[in-house]
Amino acid sequence: MLRAVLLAGLAAGTAPVVAACTNTEDEPDPLRQLAATARRDARDAAALAEGDPSLAAQLRLVADTRKAHATALQAEVDRERPPDDAAPEPGPARGKAESVAQLGKALAAAEQAAMELVARVPTYRAGLLGSVVAACASLRQLAPDLAAGQEENEIEELRPAEGNTLAEDAVEVLQEALGAEHAAMWAYGLVSAYLPADFDEGLGKATAEHRARRDGAQRMLTVAGSTPRPAQPGYVPPEDITDQTSATTLVVQVEDDCTIAWRAVLEHTDNAELRGFALRALTSSARRCALWRAEAGEAPSVLALPGKPG
């Protein structure tokens, strides 16, 4: 993670979620349907790419990403319950996407379905589903027709109720997420001097969002009886920031660090408020990271499983 590099070079000095629960043995695994839907999306996107040269690259990225989702989701299904050759493949949740706009609606539906499951799956599945949500949201930014109905990121505050408690491991990963937010705010302050004026609005929104997430993490830790770790007195980037290219590379790295940190929170808490906050934070940083990766010319611009450590 970039934050670890920064620290090593320190100057001297969508709705509320409910508590997670497991499925009983006689219930169908809900991830099977998600995997089947991802396979359908991948096939539809690949077919649409053949007929639309102007969006072929974006649609192939959708196809590759959803194929990766299908593989990861099916692997989790098979890990939890050994494959049964006699079990029928889940039927399609919808018809074939005949247009890019219909594919966009399919991605939105997949995002919503995974988001709803994040609220009730065990922690070991929450991170995977959170990454699927974040990737689908990021894919919908690739073209206007894919993004129909997608709302702009909202800056949301977390104000936990008094008496909220966290397990020890949840406190530790939340402290790590807080540290990632501190580093992100510092990075955005630094790069503003190296990016053109037409980036100012986006930089301001990003900074405000990271500040809100920092403040929310601090409040949650305080209410839970822990002392939030402060920002470091200074940071040294892994390489000199001298121009737009190096500045863009830095923000890609800090947003990627935030996705990793917030996915880890999802994987270590059953606290309803914190899990919902972490999912929104992961999704927002993944969307912003995808935009910065595209700006930097990095491929793929959308990572299949944002927040999954490499």
Domain 2-15+154-296 homologous superfamily, CATH: Ferritin, core subunit, four-helix bundle (1.20.1260.10)
> Which of the residue ranges 11-20, 53-62, 92-101, 216-225 would you say has the lowest mean pLDDT?
11-20
Digit-coded pLDDT (tens) for 253-270: 999 999 999 999 999 999
Mean pLDDT, rounded, of the chain: 89
pLDDT at 80: 85
Q: If you search the block for the tokens 């939105």, which residue do you land on?
A: 108
Please indicate whether the domains covering 2-15+154-296 and 30-147 agree at the CATH topology level.
Answer: yes
pLDDT at 12: 28
Sorted by sequence, the CB contacts under 8 Å of residue 191 that are 6+ apart come out as: 203, 241, 247, 248, 250, 251
Q: What is the secondary structure of 49-74 as a DSSP string?
A: HHH-GGGHHHHHHHHHHHHHHHHHHH
- Domain locations in the chain? 2-15+154-296, 30-147
Q: Which of 165, 159, 141 is nearest to 62 (CA)?
A: 141
The answer to whether 130 touches 282, Cβ cutoff 8 Å, is yes
- For the chain, percent of residues with pLDDT exceeding 90: 76
pLDDT at 92: 59
Q: What is the secondary structure of 133-183 as a DSSP string?
A: HHHHHHHTTSSGGGGTTPPPPP-----PPTT----HHHHHHHHHHHHHHHH
**How confident is residue 234, by pLDDT bands cut at 50, 70 and 90?**
confident
CA distances to 33, 109, 200 from 131, rounded to whole Å, are: 17, 15, 28
**Topology (CATH) of 30-147:** Ferritin (1.20.1260)
pLDDT at 16 over 70: no
For residue 94, give both structure tokens.
């919808």
pLDDT at 123: 95
Digit-coded pLDDT (tens) for 77-99: 999 888 776 566 776 556 788 89
Sorted by sequence, the CB contacts under 8 Å of residue 40 that are 6+ apart come out as: 92, 93, 94, 96, 106
Torsion of CA 267, 271, 272, 273, to 10 degrees: -100
Cα–Cα dist 67/218, whole Å = 38
pLDDT at 1: 56
Instruction: Give the distance, in angstroms, between the CA of residue 76 and the centroid of all CA atoms in the same chain.
Output: 19
Structure-model confidence comparison of residues 22 and 261, the more confident one: 261
Cα–Cα dist 33/124, whole Å = 18
Mean pLDDT for the stretch of residues 102-126: 96
- Reply yes or no: is the peptide bond before residue 300 cis, omega within 30 of 0: yes
pLDDT at 18 over 50: no
Cα–Cα dist 48/107, whole Å = 14
> Which of the residue ranges 40-44, 65-69, 185-189, 235-239 would you say has the lowest mean pLDDT?
235-239
Mean pLDDT for the stretch of residues 191-209: 96
Question: What's the one-letter identity of residue 36?
Answer: A
**DSSP structure class, residue 11:** -
pLDDT at 15 over 50: no
Digit-coded pLDDT (tens) for 141-185: 999 999 977 776 667 778 887 878 899 999 999 999 999 999 999
The answer to whether 309 touches 173, Cβ cutoff 8 Å, is no
**How confident is residue 7, by pLDDT bands cut at 50, 70 and 90?**
very low
